[in-house]
Every structure is written in structure tokens, then in C-alpha cells.
Structure 1
Amino acid sequence: MPTGGIDWASTDHAVAVVAADGTALERFTVPHTKAGLRGLCRQLRRAGVDEIGIERGDGPVVDALLGTGFTVLVIPPLQVKNLRSRYGSAGNKDDRFDAYVLADTVRTDRHRLRPLTLDTPATLTLRATCRARKDLVAHRVALANQLRAHLAVTFPGAVGLFSEIDSKISLRFLRRFPDQQRADWLSLTRLHAWLRSVGYSGHTSTETLHRRLTDAPRGLSGDGGARAQITVALINALEAISTQIQTLADQIEEQLTLHPDSEIFTSLPRGGQIRAARLLAEIGDARGRFPTPDSLICLAGVAPSTRQSGKMKIVSFRWAADKQLRDAVCDFAGDSRHASPWARHLYDQAIARGHDHPHAVRILARSWLGVIWKCWQTNTPYDPARHRAAQAHQHRAA
């Protein structure tokens, strides 16, 4: 049966169809448009193609092929680069030739390739919920910054009164004392009585809190309560968005519990519920999308981008990446060092080499993704006792 290969590009795609004996039957290009992708599927069907090789496992081309019933096999670009040597020693990059290499590799190495499958509806739902919560958290941060900037002018004493400007105790205080004029009524005794009435259980003494209020510069007053109304409006917005964030968090925990892959990601150190859910949602459950650890690492943008020409070699930050995936992986990796001695060791080594915190976290994330990929592909929860690198570090430390 003929096999197909598609070399993906931004404006058009090179396509090759190869016969069972390796002879090139057809070579053509299609534009990256809705009509072009429909035409692509029709031509492949007419040629009798059922299985198609491609270098990436996402995007409109893949969606069109899977939606039409084709079997899609992902062959990473690095493998394609190495496979070119089968057909000649020049190793030149040519889209039409790469399409032929992809099609012929499907013909010869089909037993080594795993068909691509789409993420399940459960994963797609979890991804949408996680991203919606993340967007609301960003809005909450922006609102908290707006409230802080407003209070810096109207009521400076409230800005640093409690640990967080948008904490429950801080918002309750501001709702009761929204401006400088009403806060002036607070004596040490009255502040103590109010804190007891709301059940304040913080570790900061009443004397310290009162001193913060009295030592701060005075805010604006005498505007008829207009600025206090702004404070209350921002409080209302913060409380409303916090409620919705919690509602989505509850949904995420429920969706994660019901997901078949939940045990893999919740087993990771400091994975938690939200963090594990984000990792699962962004990595997905379509195993064929990432046939190698490097394909996952590169998409996450935690491996540097290397460009070399002659004697010049440039290693730089990888800008072309799935930013949602990178954020989820780096968030996990950055916190994992507090629970995993192996992760802490890798992070400290990177810092000792002169890397800053974000770079060190990306280095750690790259190592973690190799571990996560293995657990994910084998449906095995993470176990430090079976993690050879972690065990080796433990023995060295002992």
C-alpha cells in the first residue's frame, strides 16, 4: 500500500507518495488554507494512501488528516535529519526531498513508529479549565496591583499592614476601614478588639500592626468618601474573581481525580492537585505526539536552541515553544527542589555554574521531563526508589 509524507511549512506543504517498492508515485505542494487541506486529503485518498509521516503532531494539517481518517505517524525533525543520509551524503535540506524521506520511512520503519492519537475529551476539558483558572489568577494579580497603587495614595498604612494586599484578613480590614479617615478611629485597644472579632490568627502582634498604621504617611482625606468607594469597588472585584478561581479549582480537582493519568502526575514531588492537573493538561494523553523525550523537551522550550555555521556556534534561549507547557513544567520544576534532593542538587549545580534562577529552573525542568516522559509512556507513577539518578545522588550524599 502506498505511504505518504508531508513536510510542514508556514505557507504551503510539500507532499510525497511512495509505492510499496519505494518508488515515488506523486510529489506536489498544497497551500496552507482550508481549501488546500481539503484538497490534500482528497489527493491522498485517490492515491490509496492510508498512513502518513509528518514531523510534528499538532496543528491544522494534523487535525485535517486525523479528521479524514488517516493514520498519522510523527517522525521528529532530528530523526529526519539523520535519515537523509540513507539517500545521499550531502545532507541538504529540501522540503520536497524531506517529504519523500518521511513517506519512505513510514514504508520501511512502520514497526518502529507509533500512530498519533488526539487527546481525549477528558484531557481537553481539563486543559480548558486549567487555562481559564490561570487567566483568572492573572486578572486577580492585576486587580491586587491596582488596589495597592490606589491605597499608596489614599491610605498608605494599609499597603503593608498584612502580608498580602489581597488576603482575606486584608480585604476584611479594608472593607471595614476603606480610607484614612476611618482608620484614624483605631486605637490600639480598638484594633485589638476588631482583630479578635474577625478571628485573626496571624503571627503579627496587635502592637506591630498598630505601629505600621501610625508610622505610615497619611493618605488623602476630605473627599466625601469617593476614594473609599473606589477601594470597596476593587475589593468587590477581588472577592468575586477569587470565588470563581476557587470554583474552577474545585472543578479541576474533580476532573483530575477522574482522569486515567492522574496517578502519574500526582505522584511527582510537590505535584499537588492544580500543578499536577496543569502538567497533565498541557502534556496531554496522546502518547504518539511525543515519540521521544527530546520532542517533549523541545516543545516545552527548556532545551536551548543551537545554531552553527562554520566555526560560529550560538546557543540561545528557545523562543519557539509551547508557552503554556513551558510555564507548567517550570512551575513544577522550580518547586520540586524543595521536596526532591536530586532536584535540589541539579538546581544548585546550575546556580554554581553562574546561571540565574530562571535558567537553572529550565535546566532542572529539562531533566524532569525525561523522567516524566518515561512515566507517562509506561503508565507508571513516579517512584524515587526506581529513579536511578535520584538513587545515585542519595548514595553519593550518604
Structure 2
Amino acid sequence: MSTHQGQLFAGIDWASKTHAICVVDDRGAIRIRFEIPNTRKTFNGLVTRLTKLGVEGVAIERCDGPLVEALLDACLRVFVITPRQVKGLRTRYSGSGAKSDAGDAYLLADVLRTDGHRLTPLTQDGDATQVLRSLSRTRKQLVEARVGLVNQLRAELERCFPGAIGLFARLDSDVTIAFLRRYPTQHAAARLTQARFAAFLRRIAYCGRKPLEELFARVSEAPPAGLSADEADGHAACVLALLKAVETVRNQERELEAEIIERLHTHADAHIFTSLPKAGHGVRAAALLAEIGDVRARFPDEESLAALAGVAPVTRASGKYHAVGFRWAADKKLRNALIDFADDSRHVSPWAAKVYNDAISRGKRHPHAVRILARAWVRVIWRCWQDNTAYNPELHGGAMQIAA
């Protein structure tokens, strides 16, 4: 972006309650400065005001959210300057590096004025991709909430029913929930006989992975020492409440998963991501598609995608000093989607397994080896994505060498 006389540049310091806005001219002088509350109604007023001023671009610290969507819908050019970059730039305007909302808004606007030619404007994905991204991220949040509830349930069972922990494969499985709903504490299971326990397992259609005698020995253990019947009743109420919460979150998670799969199959780029090994036709392929997006111009080369995903290392060199380190400045959601896919792909792809094993043999730890594999997959995914073609192992040179 080149600066011409009379141009205006806006900076927005985003916050959860109020946003600070600063508009500067081509010489860096402040033309206007104000704040707005974080409401959809005020976003419309802000967009109208910036459009009338004719700002050349808007700099902000985040790449998504209702405010960014409102700016993009109004065809304003939006540039993202990450919080990490802003932190490093503060000393450029103040020797103390002091922080204030108004100061950060000015910093964003002025950096856009002076360094706009180094920045790439934000491009908006299609509606189908944005919806898929929202669904995928919400489902992931529900998974995290369910894991937290299961951990709480495990902690509660350690106090009142330690024999139920590890009784079945998972604490949030249908068979475990059915059993704990009937017998939430060791006291409640004290009157259980082996015959009645066998009948109960048949009723809930237990697969029989573990022998009946082993299961019964666990549930018929003596109650924890010092736990009275009244205390057991209180713990039972806690266990039942947590079971209900786990079941509710799990059901909503499944509903979202079904919605994700339905929308994935109608997406124009679905054939690219569902063709990847172990990506499948479900949430993993949807997460990859949603986080990478559908705007090809956003990643003109594979290096830009690898850098944003945080799977390319950062090299620091000065004189005799040379170090290669972990890339902290990255899109963490994109990185998590790529790492999750890469880690599982090595179990079915001989090429992926070789890349991972070679990294391990060089002394890399598991997380580092998976990032190396993810970087290798980025080359393949980016090429398929740009060419709008499905992944074919027979056209993948590395995979064909392994097969030969």
C-alpha cells in the first residue's frame, strides 16, 4: 500500500466491552479519535463513519469476529497486526513501552500508514466456509467442556466410588452413564449380587470385553474408609448432576457433528480434504477446510501457509549466532487442525510414517516430529488446494518412492 497526500488510515484497538478508534492522515497527525461500545448497532455506525471519511484501510489486532465481519461486508480494506507485533512496536512510539487503548489504536493506524505496503489485506471466505468454521470451532469447545466435566466426574468418583473408574472403556460412554445412573456410589452398589449385575449388563447391551467376574470384583469392593451413608448420598447427587451435564454436552456435540458432516459434503472444496488419509468425511476434514479457508490468494505459496500454521520453524541468525526455534506467532486453531491430521495420518500412510520415523531417528521428540510431518503435508495440501484436485497417492512422488 503506497501513501498519497490526503489519505486517511484507521486503527481499532479491540476489547470485550469498548473499542478505541483512531484515524490519522498521511503525515501521521490524528484526525479523529473516539470509542464505541461492543454492540452490533454501533458497528453499523462505525462502518458508516469510516466509509464517509474515505479511509484507505483499517488496522486491527484480530482476524475474525462481528466487528471484522461488519468492516469486510462494507468493502473496507482490513489489515491484521497481531498482538505480538503490537507489543514489539510499542517501543517505537514510547521508550517505556507503556500500553493504553487509545495509544494502541494510534499505533495500529500509524503502522498501517508507514508499513501498509508490507501487509496483506484480509480476505473473506465464502458463507459456506464461514459457517463450517463456526460449527467446527463450537464443536471443539464442546469437546473441551465434556473433557472438563469428565475430569470432574472422575474426581468425584475417587471420593465415593473408586471401583467405577476404569470399569468400562470410557467414563462418558453410554454403558458407564447407564451404570452410574443406577449405582452412583459404592454404597449404592453394595447390595448388588453377581446374578443381578449380569442381568443389568445384558439389559444395557454390554459388549462383554471384560469378564463378568472381573467387573463384579471391582464394583463389590468395600466403600472408601470414613465415608458415611449420609456423605455418600451427597456425593451421589453430585455424580448424577455431572452425569446429566456430560450427557447433555455429548448429545449437543453429536448434533453439531452431524450438521458438520452434512455441510461438509455440500462444500465445493470437500473432495480435496476428504481425500487426505485419515481425514475422513467428518470433523477432521471439516476442521482443515474451515481453518485453511477457500480464498486461494490468501496463501500464494506453501511457505505462507506453513508459517501461519506454525509448522515452519523460525531461524534467528546474527554474526556467529544461529538458532532455529519454535514458531510462537501462529494461528493456533489452524496449527491444531494440521497437527491432529498429521499425527493420525502416519498410521495409514507409509510416506507419512517414514517422515515421522526419520525425524524420531534424528533425535526429535514426538511433538517436533509431528510438526515436521505437518510441514511436509502442507506442501501436498497446498498443491491440491491450489489445483482444486483430490489427493492421489499415485501422483505423490514421495509416496510412490516408498511404495516402490
TM-score range, shorter chain: 0.7 to 0.9
Residues 1:189 and 1:207: Cα distance change in structure 2 (over 3 Å): same
Q: Counterpart in 2 of 1:107?
A: none
1:153 paired to 2:159: yes
Deviation of 1:186 (Å): 2.1
1:229 paired to 2:237: yes
Residues 1:8 and 1:69: Cα distance change in structure 2 (over 3 Å): closer
1:210 paired to 2:219: no
Give the AA of the match of 2:318: S
Deviation of 1:102 (Å): 5.6
Deviation of 1:183 (Å): 1.0
Residues 1:57 and 1:217: Cα distance change in structure 2 (over 3 Å): closer
Counterparts of 1:343 and 1:58 in 2: how far apart (Å)?
A: 32
Q: Identify unmatched segments of 5+ residues in structure 2.
A: 14-20, 36-45, 81-110
Q: Conserved in 2, the CA contact under 8 Å of 1:116 and 1:288?
A: no
Residues 1:178 and 1:389: Cα distance change in structure 2 (over 3 Å): same
Q: Counterpart in 2 of 1:359?
A: 368
Counterparts of 2:132 and 2:254 in 1: how far apart (Å)?
A: 15
Q: TM-score, normalised by structure 1?
A: 0.76
Q: Conserved in 1, the CA contact under 8 Å of 2:192 and 2:220?
A: no
Percent identical residues: 46
Q: Counterpart in 1 of 2:395?
A: 386
Q: Counterpart in 1 of 2:277?
A: 269
Matches of residues 14-53 of structure 1 in structure 2 within 5 Å?
Answer: 42=53
Q: Conserved in 2, the CA contact under 8 Å of 1:300 and 1:322?
A: yes
Residues 1:279 and 1:190: Cα distance change in structure 2 (over 3 Å): same
Give the AA of the match of 2:403: Q
Counterparts of 2:315 and 2:176 in 1: how far apart (Å)?
A: 48
Deviation of 1:306 (Å): 1.6
Deviation of 1:385 (Å): 0.6
Aligned length: 348
RCO comparison, higher one (Cα < 8 Å, 6+): 1
Q: Counterpart in 1 of 2:260?
A: 252
Runs of at least 4 residues off by over 3 Å: 2-16, 26-45, 56-74, 95-103, 214-219
Q: Conserved in 2, the CA contact under 8 Å of 1:307 and 1:314?
A: yes
Residues 1:8 and 1:213: Cα distance change in structure 2 (over 3 Å): farther
Counterparts of 2:369 and 2:10 in 1: how far apart (Å)?
A: 33
58-67 or 130-139, which moves further after superposition? 58-67
Q: Secondary structure at the match of 1:318?
A: coil
Deviation of 1:136 (Å): 0.5
Deviation of 1:163 (Å): 1.6
Q: Conserved in 1, the CA contact under 8 Å of 2:23 and 2:31?
A: no
Q: Identify unmatched segments of 5+ residues in structure 1.
A: 17-25, 46-51, 75-94, 104-112
Counterparts of 2:269 and 2:31 in 1: how far apart (Å)?
A: 38
Q: TM-score, normalised by structure 2?
A: 0.75
Q: Conserved in 2, the CA contact under 8 Å of 1:264 and 1:380?
A: yes
Residues 1:193 and 1:369: Cα distance change in structure 2 (over 3 Å): same
Counterparts of 2:403 and 2:196 in 1: how far apart (Å)?
A: 55
Give the AA of the match of 1:211: A
RMSD: 3.8
Counterparts of 2:338 and 2:306 in 1: how far apart (Å)?
A: 10
- The Cα offsets for residues 295-321 of structure 1, whole Å up to 9 and x where unpaired, read as 111111111122222211222211111
- The Cα offsets for residues 333-367 of structure 1, whole Å up to 9 and x where unpaired, read as 00000111000001111111111111111111111
Residues 1:380 and 1:32: Cα distance change in structure 2 (over 3 Å): farther
Residues 1:301 and 1:239: Cα distance change in structure 2 (over 3 Å): same
Counterparts of 1:31 and 1:217 in 2: how far apart (Å)?
A: 73
Q: Conserved in 2, the CA contact under 8 Å of 1:10 and 1:32?
A: no
